[in-house]
Structure formats: C-alpha cells, structure tokens
Amino acid sequence: AAPVLAATAEVLVTVAEVFGDAALASEDRGKGVNPSSSNSSNSGSGGGGGDGDSEQNDTLWQQLEQCFQVVAASALAIVQISAPLSSSSSSSSSSSAAAAAVNEHEDALGAVLLLANRLLSFAPASLIRSPALPSIVGVLLPTSLRAMRTRQPALHALAFLGSLASHVDKTVAASARPPSLSSFPSDSGATGLILTDPSTFPHLTPAQQTTHHLTMTRLEPLIATTGADLVLGMLRGGMDLMPSMLLRQVAGVLFSFLSSTVFMERAVEWLVAALQSPELSETIPNGPGSLLTFEDRTRFLKMALPTHSLILQGSSNRIDNNNGNNLTAAGCTNPYGATVSYLNPSQMLLPRGRFISLMVDLFGVARGESTRDVLVTHELAVASLAAAASMTATANGDGGM
C-alpha cells in the first residue's frame, strides 16, 4: 500500500541521513570512517577506522541498498508501468494512466525519490549499481516531473534530477580529465578501465575510482539515453501541473543540464526536441503547450541559446508539423538541433538569472498566467545587452590598434 511505502521510505531516508552525516563527521575528525569502503565519491582513503567499523559500514549500506530496491520496485508497481514513457514509445492512454497514478500517490513516490537522492549523496555507488536505478530514472522520474501537483514530492523529483547532473559533472571534475566519453568502457563486453588499471587516476582513492567507474559506465549513459524524456517532463510539468512556486527550480535544473560540462551539447538537442514534441503541440485543445505559438518557441530559443541562431527550417510551417520542418540550428541537418563544442557554457547561454527568468515567463505564457508581451520585453533586454557587448568589443578593438 502507498502509505506503507511512504512510511518505509521516510524511515530509510532518516537512516541514510543519520548514518551518512555521522560517517562524514567521523571522517572530518580524521578517523577515516566512510559511508562505505566502495561507495563515497567525496571521501578520502578511509585509513583511520578499524576493520570492524569498515565491515559494519559495508553491511549497513548493503542492507540499505537492498531496501531501496524493494521500495523502488513497489513504487513502480504502484504506477503500473514497466517501460519508459515517451511520445515515441508509449500511447497517450498509458501516459495518462501513469500520470493519474502519480497524482494519487505523490507522497509515497516523492519519498522514494528523496531516498534515491540521499543514497546518491552519501553512498553513490550503492545507488548507481542498483538494478532499480534505470527504472527510477527512465520511468518514475520523468512521469513524476510531468504529473506531480504537490510541492514537496515535486521538489524531491527536481532535487534528485539536479543531483544526478551535478554528480556526473563533479565526478568528471574530480578526475581532472576531459569528459571524452569514448575513453570510458561500457559495461557491455568491456573490462573496467578504472578498476583494472588503478594508475589511470592515481590521485583518487580506490573508493573514488570505483564510484568514478560506475558513474561513467552506468549513470552517464543512463542519463544520456533518458535525457530527452527528462527534459520533456520538466517542460510539460512547468507548462501544466507543476506547482507555480517551483517553476524557478524547474528552470534551474534545466540550466544545470545546459551548462553541464558533460551534457550541455546533448541538452540543447533535448530542449529543442521537447519544444516541438507532440505532447506540447499547440494543436491539442487545452494541452500544456496549446497557448504557445511557434513564434513564442523560436523567440525563446533564440534568446536562451543566442549563439545557436535557432530558426525554423521552412517558411510558414508550425513547430509540430510532420512534414520534416523542425527547429534546428541554421545550416544543420540534425532535426533536433546542433551538437556544438562549446567548452564554456557562458558562450552559449544566457546568464543563469536571466535564463531562469525567461524560462519562468515562458511557463507563465503557456499556463495563461502571462501575456507574450513578457517575451518581447526579454527580447528587447537581450538585444540591448548584445548591442552593449558589441560596442564594448569594438571599443576595445579600436583601442588596441
């Protein structure tokens, strides 16, 4: 039953928080007690604790990992879905049924997502290697983003998604190695580079190497394959059912993907694809995107991603037509946008505060809470900034001659 699931997940969250905080405090005092000898990506080598303490730590996190698998399976059973929801692979009726189940059991499902987030914080390897994680990230999370109406459960879903992106970025940064994903082996048929060659990252402890390996061979590919649904879930929720006081958080999580050192190139594609998804079509009466015109969407993309010059390839065709005309970067044949190679997110994005403000106003237009005049105001502000930057660059160039 959902109430039992919610209560169980909340107890497990408390256990994870208490033990994780205590373990980190012990480490700070120089005792070297880690949440798990193979779990913490932020901990040191863990040399101060005795073997008995280490074994107890391992046992507790292994038991918590098993409990997570049980509650995750229960959550998925409540929602009654067995495959990722996307516009291309699932019918609208199954999507509606899943959304209805999420609405009915938000507290329980939100507690499970909170537990997943706590495991990611204190024992990331326990979460990443869990067989339940693909279904949580690929099924439960995007469905929750689409359908949750209550503040606290929706906040748990957003926080977990933001933590996933942050964890991958921090893992790459900790390795002091560029995120060239081709250099990392996958779990299918390849030996573990980091596990079999400790010298690959000599500055990382064995525990950190383990977490790094799991992150880059399991979590990063999982996010890469589910990112389109996750971004679509955020946009659909923001345009429809997501509590209005969380719209800035939605925009903030989206910005974290667009500014991610690992995901930013793909996140641009996900954003463009989501804005032209049939789920957000303006042709669906009373649909979540029914109040957004094609011009609204292109205006938003041009402002949010100024260096991409996103336009519609075609003259008077709408964004959701099935005739091959899609939003894409000028000169790019990829129907879901360009894959670019910017190393500095500030070169391709509005500043965080301006992006969040623009995104929230787009949600307001979609919800019927704002007029599209707010987008025109943003457009004028962005144009003024661009003109000022151009004048500054010209002045600097003239001064150097």
Residues 333-381 have pLDDT tens digits of 222 232 333 335 555 678 899 999 999 999 999 999 999 899 988 888 8
Q: 389 exposed, middle or buried (CB, 10 Å; 0-12, 13-18, 19+)?
A: exposed
Query: What is the tens place of the pLDDT at every residue in 26-50?
Result: 666 654 445 444 444 444 333 334 4
Angle 48-55-70 (CA atoms, 0-180°, nearest 5)?
130
Among 184-193, 276-285, 301-310, which range has the highest average pLDDT?
276-285
Among 191-200, 238-247, 380-389, which range has the highest average pLDDT?
238-247
Percent of the chain whose predicted confidence (pLDDT) is above 90: 43
Among 205-219, 239-253, 307-321, which range has the highest average pLDDT?
239-253
pTM listed for this prediction:
0.79
Q: Please, are residues 145 and 237 in contact by the beta-carbon 8 Å criterion? A: yes
What value does the mean pLDDT take over residues 218-227? 96
Structure confidence at residue 42 (pLDDT): 47
What value does the mean pLDDT take over residues 77-90? 54
Q: Flag whether pLDDT at 154 surpasses 90.
A: yes
Structure confidence at residue 207 (pLDDT): 79
Say how far residue 266 (Cα) sits from the centre of its chain.
12
Structure confidence at residue 53 (pLDDT): 59
Report the chain's C-alpha Rg in angstroms. Answer: 23
Structure confidence at residue 312 (pLDDT): 36
Structure confidence at residue 359 (pLDDT): 97
Percent of the chain whose predicted confidence (pLDDT) is above 70: 70
Which of 247-256, 277-286, 297-306, 313-322 is predicted least confidently?
313-322
Structure confidence at residue 129 (pLDDT): 93
Find tokens 């044949």 and name the residue.
333
Bigger pLDDT: 250 or 80?
A: 250
Find tokens 């329980």 and name the residue.
108
Q: Please, are residues 105 and 152 in contact by the beta-carbon 8 Å criterion? A: no
Q: Flag whether pLDDT at 121 surpasses 90.
A: yes
Which of 59-63, 74-78, 106-110, 365-369 is predicted least confidently?
59-63
Structure confidence at residue 168 (pLDDT): 94
Q: Flag whether pLDDT at 313 surpasses 50.
A: no
What value does the mean pLDDT take over residues 53-69? 80
Q: Alpha-carbon distance 186 to 345, whole Å?
A: 27
Structure confidence at residue 74 (pLDDT): 92
Q: Please, are residues 43 and 24 in contact by the beta-carbon 8 Å criterion? A: yes
What value does the mean pLDDT take over residues 195-201? 48
Stated as kind and residue range, the H or E segment containing 328 is strand 327-329
Angle 140-145-148 (CA atoms, 0-180°, nearest 5)?
95
What value does the mean pLDDT take over residues 259-285? 90
Structure confidence at residue 305 (pLDDT): 85
Q: Flag whether pLDDT at 321 surpasses 50.
A: no
Going by the DSSP 8-state scheme, the letter that residue 314 receives in this structure is S
